[in-house]
Each structure stands twice: as structure tokens, then as C-alpha cells.
Structure 1
């Protein structure tokens, strides 16, 4: 193959890579130097690279924000470990929420505490599940503000773990239906038709707005109006479980990647230069 055809091939190959894959900027340790492989020899570079670009197919179709620690938001894969931990955090918070509602006046919660105390919580749960769902008479704040917000938190729990819009909606619907309406809340009241619909549907719409808001905050170094205090406070409101988890230094298992790709052309030797790239993500 003559030099002109080789250069043309490299240009076409690079264009296909650019349009087919999304560029992700990462940092390389200064002690790690790129290795260039030619058909006849291996040559080590005599300089250090501070930045390079890795090509990564984002199967979920989301653009990512590259953080200072090298991680991306959202993750470029489904992080089931993160979702499992944050789901456990939700269960704990749901129990706490039940306690708060129990402490509230019956006029606010619409819970018949005397009947629950008299016949037991398990009996009350069975009766409520059999009787529901029904249209409830809860205050509009609970139905159209508190429940949609809860749905958005469920949604963000999955969305920030690398799941797409539809999967996050399903997670929100599952958690709001099984763990709350027919779970914890059913110990005190009959499942609500409004809550079964409004919580996941409106919550997912709000949650997707939270998702883009979080990306913007992370892109601006965790700042809102140039304030990190406002930035972290906002993150804690729109995505509490993942924000708390990240605050404790959550890390995934170490993942490595090794690939070989053409990176240039040696005009003098009339040969393609191949690069060996090794990445390790913690």
C-alpha cells in the first residue's frame, strides 16, 4: 500500500471513530508513558503526556460530565452495586419517614392510630391491601408535592447509577408501588390511586429535570451561583442517596482496559505507527 492510500485509510478510520463513539477525557499518571509499536521495533516515548482521549461507546445515549477524580456522570454503565446500596439507604429512610408520619397529627396523615393499636399492624396491612387502591382525600401538598418529589428521588437513585430514562422510570414505579404504597404505608392506610400514578409519572418528569440540573452543577465544580455550599445543598435535595454515598467516598472495583490502535504514520519508514494504551479505573 503506497503512502497516499495509507494516510487516506487512517483519515477515514479516525472519522469513523469520531462519529461512532464519544470522546471521554481522562488523566494519565505521569509515570506511565505511551508505547509505540512498529512492525520491526518497539520505541518508548521520551516525553510525558498529561492528557489523552479514550473512546467509549455510551450505550445509554447520555452525554457525560468528566469529574476531577476521573469518574464520569452519569456512569457509562449500569452500576448495580451503587443502586443496591442506595436502595438500602431508601429502605432505612422510608422507615424513618413512617415514624415521622406516625408522630404527625391524624388530621395531617389520615391514619387511624387507635384502630392500628387495637388490632395490630399486620391485620391493618392485610385489610388495607385488600381494600385498595382507592381515591384518597389527602391534602394536596402530600398528593401533588410530597409524592412527586419522592418519585423524583427514586428516579434519580437509578438515573445516577447509570440507568436510562425508561429503566429509571420503572425503578421509580417499583419502589413507590411495592415498597411504599403496598409496603410501609399500607400498614397505616389503603393504597391510593393518585399516589400510584402521580408518584412515578410526575416524579420521573421532575427527576429528569433534576438529572440535567445535577450535570450542570457537577460541570461547574459543584457550585450554584458560584457557591459550593448552595451546590452541595442542591445536590443533597435533588439526589440525596447518591450524594451521601459519594460523600463517603464510594468507589467501584478497579477496572482495566487494554487496546491497540493506529495513532500515526511514519513517512520516512512508510509504516503505520500503532499505540498500546492501558487504562486503570478505580
Structure 2
């Protein structure tokens, strides 16, 4: 048996005998990650407006309902200066006996079948009912909840409230305003969703779009114009969230935050 290969082994030349420490590869790895981390910047926060809101915005509804108070005073003034042939209001009796007395008498006498002009009964009241409906619908409430809001507003706020100072509550108005108003209002709701989806434009015109929004939902449009919006700020970025205990390599993850 030839044992020369065992007796005369080939010489091994060591070029670099420096000892490599166990933690140096980790240092090199960490240094190599610095450029990558520097190039990753957090995504800018995005502001999104969801229509309708995902939650019931009671504060918005409170603001818009309060705006009705001022608008109703103006509406009452407009009706007061209109001829009695259009409103059927007995202004002389109101002036003589006072508003509060007239309100009590009208509430006791109603409701009755009125003889108002067809424009008031079949155009104005359904439109007003649609505005009531949209005030609630645009604040995140459901169709049935918005119908209920319209019924309450048209019955107690207007027929047995403001208008009762001048005339007896109307049977037609108690029915037409909330029922037909809900139909008109849901049409307004779908139209508003479409307009907002197209960047508040109608026929590629922003002015026409905003005018249409005001016509369909005046109080919410005014409120949004003053900066009140249902905003959700979101931010997303990519960053190391830990270290793999076996490979000692960083574990990457996505960080997401939202503020309401």
C-alpha cells in the first residue's frame, strides 16, 4: 500500500490569516441597508371624503338643522310679503290678535284639506321634503332614517311649527312633503354621488356642478364650503419591524395609520 500521499501532504498557503469576528457580517449587512432605508420615504398623508359618510355624523346634522332655523325665518318673511291670494294667510287677523294666538287657533283647527295653489302643493312641498331628506342622508343616515327625519321636520318644524303661525296645518302637506320628498330626495342622493364621483362637475363644468349640488342639498353644500368635511387622514410606509432570529436579517413590514 502506497502511503506517500499521507507522509508528504501538499503544503497549504495561507494568504490572510486574520480572524473574522462573528458580528462583522451583521455590521456589513446593516451598513448595506442604510442606502435602502434612506431612499424609502413615507407616503404623503391622503385626505379622502367618502359620500355618504361611513358613520352617522350627528354633529353635521345638528349644524344643518340649526341652519334651517335661519332659513325658515327668511322663508316666513318671503311668504309674508307674498299676496294673500297665493298664501291664503289672513294677515290682518294675525296683526290684530297676535302670532301666538293665531298659532294656537290653527293647531286646534287642523289638519284640514287646504286650497293652496298646485305649485305649492305638488312642487314646492316635495322639493322641500327632498331637502329635508338630503340633510339627513348626507350626514350618513339610512334611507328610512332620512325619511323619518323628513317627516319630523315637515310635520313639527313646519306644518305644526312655523306655518301654523299663519294657517291651519294641511292634510296634503303632511303626506306629500315626507312621502314624495323622500322619492325626490333619493333621486338627489344618487345624483349627488355621481357629481362628486366626477369631481363636482356637470357637463364638464365645475360651476354647474356646484350649483346643482346647492340646489339639491343646500345646507350640506354650504357647510362643506366653509371647510366642514368628513375627513379621514391615512398614512402608509414601509419599514423594518424586527429581525429574523435565525438569519439575523431585518423583517420588513407595512405600517398603516389613520386619524379621524
TM bracket, shorter-chain basis: 0.7 to 0.9
Partner of 2:176: 198
Partner of 2:82: 104
Cα drift, residue 229 of structure 1: 1.0
Q: Which has the higher helix share?
A: 2
Cα drift, residue 137 of structure 1: 0.4
Q: Which has the higher strand share?
A: 1
Cα drift, residue 79 of structure 1: 0.5
Any stretches of 5+ residues in structure 2 without a counterpart?
A: 1-35, 237-243
Answer yes or no: is 1:87 the counterpart of 2:65: yes
On the 8 A contact 2:49/2:229 being kept in 1, the answer is: no
Partner of 2:228: 250
Partner of 1:153: 131
Partner of 1:280: 259
CA distance, structure 1, for counterparts of residue 47 and residue 231 of structure 2: 15
Q: Deviations over 1:2-50 (max 9, x none)?
A: xxxxxxxxxxxxxxxxxxxxxxxxxxxxxxxxxxxxxxxxx97953465
CA distance, structure 2, for counterparts of residue 235 and residue 197 of structure 1: 26
CA distance, structure 2, for counterparts of residue 153 and residue 211 of structure 1: 10
Give TM-score, length-normalised by structure 2.
0.76
Q: CA 1:148–1:132 in 2, change beyond 3 Å: closer, same or farther?
A: same
Answer yes or no: is 1:123 the counterpart of 2:101: yes
Any stretches of 5+ residues in structure 1 without a counterpart?
A: 1-42, 53-67, 259-265
- 1:278 aligns to what SS in structure 2? strand
On the 8 A contact 2:127/2:184 being kept in 1, the answer is: yes
CA distance, structure 1, for counterparts of residue 181 and residue 72 of structure 2: 17
CA distance, structure 2, for counterparts of residue 254 and residue 277 of structure 1: 13
CA distance, structure 2, for counterparts of residue 255 and residue 234 of structure 1: 28
- 2:48 aligns to what SS in structure 1? coil
Answer yes or no: is 1:47 the counterpart of 2:40: yes
Partner of 1:35: none
Higher RCO, 1 vs 2 (CA within 8 Å, ≥6 residues apart): 2
CA distance, structure 2, for counterparts of residue 204 and residue 44 of structure 1: 55
On the 8 A contact 2:56/2:140 being kept in 1, the answer is: yes
Partner of 1:218: 196
Q: CA 1:218–1:252 in 2, change beyond 3 Å: closer, same or farther?
A: closer
Cα drift, residue 276 of structure 1: 3.8
Answer yes or no: is 1:178 the counterpart of 2:178: no
Answer yes or no: is 1:74 the counterpart of 2:67: no
Q: Deviations over 1:206-262 (max 9, x none)?
A: 10000010011111111000011110110010000000010011146988999xxxx
Give TM-score, length-normalised by structure 1.
0.70
The structure with the largest alpha-carbon Rg is 2
Cα drift, residue 154 of structure 1: 0.4
- 1:163 aligns to what SS in structure 2? coil
CA distance, structure 1, for counterparts of residue 233 and residue 40 of structure 2: 26
CA distance, structure 2, for counterparts of residue 107 and residue 69 of structure 1: 52
CA distance, structure 2, for counterparts of residue 102 and residue 86 of structure 1: 24
